[in-house]
Amino acid sequence: MFNRGIGATEELSLRVSVATLVRVLLENPRDGDLMLALERKATLHKAENERIVEVKCQPFGGAIRILDLERTQELIGDFHFDSERSRSEQDFRIFIQPADWLVVREFCVQHLTQDGNPILETDPGRELAEEFADALKIKLKSVQYIQKPVATVVEDNPAATENIHAEGALTARVYRVFEATITDSSLALAMITNSEALSDADLQGFVRQDAQSGGKGRANAILTVPIKRINDFYLAMSPKERDRPVPFEKNRLAETVPVVLEGIAIPKYQRLIEYQ
């Protein structure tokens, strides 16, 4: 029978997060520049006696869903979800026995690379639609972009997660990386306008208003930046410096941003599969 437990135990102590990351590209309708779009997330954190609003930019994407729970358990063994939210949404954010990591890693790589796999979700469309709805208050349509898989990436050495539902838990990660090119020029302009119109201070204000009205204390927007500028920024760093969040102009970039860029080496991530 499937174990629908939640949280780490003495045996189930390694957290595994399996997700999509999407390199969202668009052409600036004003000058033709190729732009990279990132999700700007503002989140309220409680630190001792104060409440801090953190704003960071990260690639679009999110947790992959487990479509067949029973079959997954048969293939990887017992696991717990990391939170009630993950369990209710069947997100692949789970705790496993550390000795099972190589089995789980191989399971993920095998199934994520099969389009339309019946066990794991392999398409970023659902997460993209949800995040565009949060940031732009629009319903993203499949005809507004074209997508393709880019790579499968693994982080073998567990690192503490900042996820608010399992903060601090040592986590190994698997990412399926996609490229999504926006083909709708009106949508591209709306994304650029959103990026220019909202400051971090605006987002922090929205978060506090949301929390005061009983919400979760979150706000979302978009950052668009010429992709050459952000590539040059990372190429000027040593590989080790790319392993962590970094300041970029007036923004804070998550450590996953260079994962979606081409030709940027990051020591802690191993690219297992590259698509042409």
With beta carbons less than 8 A apart as the criterion, state whether 177 and 149 touch.
yes
With beta carbons less than 8 A apart as the criterion, state whether 201 and 42 touch.
no
> What tens digit of pLDDT does each residue of 109-163 get?
999 988 889 999 999 999 999 999 999 999 999 999 999 999 999 999 998 888 8
Q: Where are the domains of the chain?
A: 14-274
Token readout for 161 is 């997660």
Q: Based on DSSP, count helices (H) and strands (E) in the chain, helices before strands.
A: 7, 11
> What does the DSSP 8-state code read for residue 87?
H
Residue 2 has pLDDT above 70, yes or no: no
Residue 1 has pLDDT above 60, yes or no: no
Name the one residue in this structure whose structure tokens are 């990132």: 38
With beta carbons less than 8 A apart as the criterion, state whether 153 and 177 touch.
yes
With beta carbons less than 8 A apart as the criterion, state whether 168 and 161 touch.
yes
Token readout for 184 is 């709708």
- Closest Cα partner for 24 from 178, 230, 180? 180
Q: How confident is the model at residue 21 (pLDDT cuts 50, 70, 90)?
A: very high
> What tens digit of pLDDT does each residue of 196-237 get?
998 888 888 888 888 888 888 888 999 999 999 999 999 999
Average of per-residue pLDDT values in the chain:
92
Min mean pLDDT across 8-12, 212-216, 228-232, 267-271 is at 212-216
**Tell me, what's the pLDDT at 48?**
62
**Tell me, what's the pLDDT at 276?**
58
For residues 259 and 97, give the distance between their C-alpha atoms in angstroms, rounded to a whole number: 27
> What tens digit of pLDDT does each residue of 40-75 get?
998 887 766 677 888 999 999 999 999 999 999 999
> What does the DSSP 8-state code read for residue 63?
B
**Tell me, what's the pLDDT at 152?**
94
